[in-house]
Amino acid sequence: MPQLIDGQSTAGWLELPLGTTVQDACQKLGIDLTEVLLIDINGQKVDLGTTLSDGDTLGFFPMISGG
């Protein structure tokens, strides 16, 4: 099961008011945006100002480093 950076499970539903943006959802979830490289909705890359629709699935992809 996918995990947030802090180890919390990402499974489940989040009910948000009409007009909620991706940034609003990130704040509600406590996601540190400095750790996120890409955000998608239903498989399409979006920006923080994108408004969510009923039934959307958010995906967060962290920056990866290594050598």
What CATH number is attached to the domain comprising 13? 3.10.20.30
Tally the domains of the chain.
1
Calculated CA dihedral for residues 59, 63, 49, 30, nearest 10 degrees: 70
**Radius of gyration in angstroms for the set of CA atoms belonging to the chain, rounded to a whole number:** 12
The pLDDT tens digits of the residues spanning 3-44 come to 555 556 556 678 899 999 999 999 988 888 998 999 999 999
Name the pTM for this structure: 0.76
Say how many C-beta atoms besides its own lie within 10 A of residue 31's C-beta: 20
Predicted confidence band of residue 54 (pLDDT cuts 50, 70, 90): very high
What domain range includes position 25? 1-67
The DSSP secondary-structure symbol of 4 reads: -
The count of residues in the chain is 67
Predicted confidence band of residue 63 (pLDDT cuts 50, 70, 90): confident
